[in-house]
């Protein structure tokens, strides 16, 4: 017997209050048990004449984040089991019947003959918002935390419990498609303007407002179930329809390169569904949803971007023996672009921040950067003037290291020079409490080496942010040879506090993300030197699923930094450790052409003031050979760009830099955008099979050299018919969280 998910109470006016309040959870989620319980409530509503209306609300701070996606993983296992026992057709039917239960339940609510109203506070997303859409009236709180939306596309799915079909009947098709394809979380005021909610009210009034509407004896019929209903945008086969759907298909292909079957299926559900009565449209939606649910893309994205990411966010890698850290005050040494960003996200999380720099003026510039960021949020309506003032009040600036005396954690973000950082460590430790933790934001220097300058190396850890700090969600936590469990736990607690996702990596050159990124950019450089047209390199990278091409990415990182890394690698490891063609290319661009990247508006691209970036025409003149694009093997070029990154990820596992395969996949997608539809580089290898991947790598090695040689671990997995997740998956129970 499980604890109830819903509390019900019938009042004297015949209004049944249904309070969603799952025991033992901080957030309501749609589990199989909760769905069965809600179904019983609907049975009562339909059969009990004493029930005249229904008011749904939440007993939590938030309404609900949606469905437990581990439940959908169970449906995938159902498919595999049924296919093995009864064949493909029976398995597909079983998945269809199981996955449409929520859609059928919501349709029963909609057509129960009795009005349902819902009071929404906090997040109401995914399957929970589909429940709200099935209700006849929606009142949302004006609380800053309130958001509604259907974000399923972000985990390889689409709204399959009626959300797609209902949204397409509630607004113009172009607006519906835009909302469904973006998967955004929408603020109450905008939701009201979009007619996604009917009313916005103060938090303590939403239940009363919903009840008042029910007492007005409203009709319990949705517009699309009334005779004479007309679609907001008119028929699909009309002038307006012809202006909408071909354009939507073109946008889909431009933005996704046809790599995301869920979005394609969603477009089809809308197009087909608008030509059918409601119940048939819902059946079409369910069939397409069941098909997407069986896709490898959905399985990979759910595992990495939902299950694994939630586990890491909840502290899967945190040392269990260390009590929770109560962080109050954080110091940041170096108030430049990175340091100022770190200060901003720390203050945004409610922490007190001390910004230190060589002069008061430099430290003040760091605070001014934070002021600009929060002011931009105020201008966009995402924060208030009071929020801005409170955040700025939490940031103090100083030149004197003594201001760090009562900090729990200090993060240095100074120049990437071992001598400079060693000097900073000495000054910080002279002012800091002995139990405080020191972290370096270095992106290139080994933590173990930096810790040699510390009197307390067990308290030294790496916290590597990605640029821009306020936007990038990944943080690498680097463990040096002497880093203690308390330092690691504090770093992970801090990353959780600022609402970013951590991965734990062993100290090594390039850590994890930079190693993969460097391999990706190298491949783009070598393609250019081989004579591949620059535009082709960039476009094929996007076709492969990368957010930007390797040349564009290098511009963002800075070409002179790339040259510096190449030369530092050569100085430390010898000339055989660098690629001569890449080095020559970067030397020409940086030292002869003065092209440093986006920062000086000249790199592989030109960045005209007020205009769009465009590839520098002079790149062609640098190519000694120019290949005819019609003679090139497009699939091989795409494979080169992904395989080089996947091989580097596999090497980090073999070397122990990555000790948890979840972190390689989550880190790759969040850190440098490795084709999200694959679930990450290790999931991509597992998906095609390690034997097939090794064969692909060896074919590329034969044509392009040793950088494509599969490492020993990969070869071993291939020979034994194993996968990364099969051998290395963690045994902890999956965390159940909301989608």
> Could you list the mean pLDDT of each consecutive 10-residue stretch along the chain, which spans 739 residues?
83 97 92 95 97 97 90 79 87 89 97 98 97 98 95 94 97 95 94 97 97 94 95 91 91 92 96 97 96 92 93 94 94 94 97 96 96 94 91 96 96 89 93 94 88 94 94 96 96 97 93 94 97 97 96 94 88 89 96 94 95 95 94 96 98 96 97 96 97 98 97 97 91 36
How far is residue 58's CA from residue 66's CA, in Å, rounded to a whole number? 13
Q: How many residues does the chain have?
A: 739
Q: Which residue has the tokens 């671990």?
A: 713
pLDDT of amino acid 2:
59
**Per the residue annotation, which of 136, 464, 525, 704 is the catalytic one?**
464
Model pTM greater than 0.85?
A: yes
β-bridge pairing 6-10 and 29-30: unpaired
How far is residue 544's CA from residue 537's CA, in Å, rounded to a whole number? 11
Q: How many helices (H) and strands (E) does the chain have?
A: 32, 21
Sequence-distant (≥ 6) Cβ neighbours of residue 284 within 8 angstroms: 269, 272, 273, 276
What are the C-alpha distances in Å from 269 to residues 90, 286, 288?
A: 23, 9, 7
How far is residue 180's CA from residue 149's CA, in Å, rounded to a whole number? 9
How far is residue 31's CA from residue 51's CA, in Å, rounded to a whole number? 26
Over the range 621-632, which residues count as b (16 or more CB within 10 Å of their CB) and which as e?
ebbeeeeeeeeb
What are the C-alpha distances in Å from 113 to residues 40, 48, 403, 455?
A: 16, 12, 66, 73
CATH for the stretch 329-510: 3.40.50.720
pLDDT of amino acid 704:
96
Beta strand ranges found along 523-657 (DSSP E): 605-606, 614-615
Structure tokens of 379? Answer: 């201008």
Closest CA to 515 of 342, 398, 655: 655
CB 528 within 8 A of CB 582: no
What are the C-alpha distances in Å from 638 to residues 543, 549, 642, 696, 711?
A: 8, 11, 7, 12, 21
CA 449: distance to chain centroid?
32
Burial degree of 699 (CB within 10 A; 0-12, 13-18, 19+)? middle
Give the start-to-end residue ranges of the domains of the chain.
6-294, 329-510, 514-728
CB 372 within 8 A of CB 392: no
Is there a cis peptide before residue 468, judged by omega within 30 degrees of 0?
yes
Beta strand ranges found along 480-525 (DSSP E): 501-506
pLDDT of amino acid 467:
86
- Maximum alpha-carbon separation in the chain: 86
CATH architecture classification, 6-294: Alpha-Beta Complex (3.90)
pLDDT of amino acid 736:
31
Whether residue 464 lies in the annotated active site: yes
Closest CA to 59 of 18, 30, 31, 13: 18
What are the C-alpha distances in Å from 521 to residues 525, 557, 724?
A: 6, 10, 25
pLDDT of amino acid 730:
66
Of 3.20.20.70, 1.20.1050.10, 1.10.1040.50, 3.60.9.10, the CATH number of 514-728 is 1.10.1040.50
CA 193: distance to chain centroid?
27
Task: Kindly report the backbone phi and psi dihedral angles of residue 605, in degrees, each rounded to the nearest multiple of 5, phi listed first.
Answer: -115, 160
Task: Say if 6-294 and 329-510 have the same CATH topology.
Answer: no
CB 130 within 8 A of CB 159: yes
- Residue 565: its H or E element: helix 559-573
Q: Which residue(s) pair with 475 in the sheet?
A: 465, 502
CB 627 within 8 A of CB 573: no
Structure tokens of 181? Answer: 């394809």
């Amino acid at each position: 017997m499980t604890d109830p998910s819903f509390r019900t109470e019938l009042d004297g006016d015949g209004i049944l209050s249904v309070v969603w309040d799952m025991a033992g959870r901080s957030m309501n989620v749609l589990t199989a048990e909760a769905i069965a319980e809600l179904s019983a409530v609907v049975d009562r509503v339909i059969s009990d004449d004493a029930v005249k209306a229904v008011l749904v609300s939440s007993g939590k701070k938030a309404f609900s984040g949606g469905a437990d996606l581990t439940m959908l993983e169970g449906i995938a296992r159902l498919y595999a089991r049924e296919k093995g026992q009864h064949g493909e057709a029976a398995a597909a039917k079983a998945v269809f019947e199981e996955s449409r239960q929520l859609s059928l339940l919501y349709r029963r609510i909609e057509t129960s003959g009795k009005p349902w109203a819902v009071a929404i506070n906090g997040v109401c997303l995914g399957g929970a918002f589909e429940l709200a859409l099935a209700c006849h009236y929606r009142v949302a709180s004006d609380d800053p935390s309130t958001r509604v939306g259907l974000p399923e596309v972000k985990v390889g799915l689409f709204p399959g419990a009626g959300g797609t079909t209902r949204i397409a009947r509630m607004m113009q098709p172009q607006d519906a498609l835009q909302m469904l394809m973006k998967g955004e979380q929408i603020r109450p005021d905008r939701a009201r303007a979009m007619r996604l909610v009917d009313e916005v009210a103060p938090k303590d009034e939403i239940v009363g407002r919903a009840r008042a509407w029910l007492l007005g004896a409203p009709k319990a019929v949705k517009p699309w179930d009334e005779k004479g209903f007309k679609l907001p945008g008119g028929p699909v086969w009309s002038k307006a329809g012809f202006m909408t759907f071909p354009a939507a298909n073109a946008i889909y292909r431009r933005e996704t390169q046809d790599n995301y079957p869920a979005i394609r299926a969603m477009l089809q559900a809308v197009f087909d569904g608008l030509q059918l009565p409601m119940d048939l449209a819902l059946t079409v939606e369910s069939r397409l949803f069941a098909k997407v649910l069986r896709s490898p893309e959905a399985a990979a994205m759910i595992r990495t971007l939902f299950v694994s990411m939630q586990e890491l966010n909840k502290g899967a890698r945190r040392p269990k023996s260390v009590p929770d850290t109560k962080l109050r005050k954080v110091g940041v040494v170096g108030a430049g672009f990175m340091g100022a960003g770190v200060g901003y996200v720390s203050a945004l999380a409610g922490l007190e921040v001390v910004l230190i720099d060589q002069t008061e003026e430099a430290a003040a510039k760091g605070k001014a950067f934070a002021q600009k960021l929060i002011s931009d949020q105020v201008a966009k309506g995402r924060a208030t003037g009071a929020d801005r003032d409170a955040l700025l009040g939490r940031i103090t600036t100083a030149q004197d290291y003594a201001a760090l005396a009562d900090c729990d954690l200090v993060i240095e973000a100074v120049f990437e020079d071992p001598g400079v950082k060693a000097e900073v460590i000495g000054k910080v430790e002279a002012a800091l409490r002995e139990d405080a933790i020191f972290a370096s934001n270095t992106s290139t220097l080994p933590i173990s080496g930096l810790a040699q300058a510390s009197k307390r190396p067990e308290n030294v850890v790496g916290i590597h942010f990605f640029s821009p700090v306020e936007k990038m969600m990944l943080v690498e936590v680097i463990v040096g040879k002497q880093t203690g469990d308390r330092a690691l736990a504090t770093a992970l607690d801090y990353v959780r506090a600022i609402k970013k996702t951590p991965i734990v990596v062993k100290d090594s050159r390039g850590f994890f993300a930079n190693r993969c990124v460097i391999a990706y950019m190298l491949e783009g450089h070598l393609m250019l030197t081989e004579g591949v047209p620059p535009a082709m390199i960039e476009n094929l990278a996007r076709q492969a699923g990368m957010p930007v091409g390797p040349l564009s990415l290098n511009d963002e990182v800075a070409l002179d930094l790339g040259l510096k890394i190449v030369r530092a690698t050569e100085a430390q490891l010898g000339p055989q450790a660098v690629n001569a063609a890449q080095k020559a290319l970067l030397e020409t661009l940086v030292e002869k052409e003065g092209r440093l990247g986006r920062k000086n508006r000249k790199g592989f691209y030109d960045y005209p003031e007020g205009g769009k970036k465009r590839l520098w025409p002079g790149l062609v003149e640098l190519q000694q050979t120019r290949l005819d694009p019609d003679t090139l093997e497009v699939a091989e070029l795409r494979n080169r760009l992904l395989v080089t990154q996947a091989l580097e990820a596999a090497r980090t596992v073999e070397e122990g830099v990555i000790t948890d395969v979840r972190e390689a996949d989550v880190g790759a997608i969040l850190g440098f955008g490795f084709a999200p539809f694959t679930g990450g580089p290790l999931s991509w290898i597992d998906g095609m099979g390690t034997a097939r991947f090794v064969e692909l790598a060896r074919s590329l090695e034969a044509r392009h050299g040793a950088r494509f040689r599969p490492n020993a671990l990969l070869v071993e997995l291939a020979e034994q018919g194993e996968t990364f997740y099969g051998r290395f998956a963690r045994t902890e129970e999956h965390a159940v969280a909301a989608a």
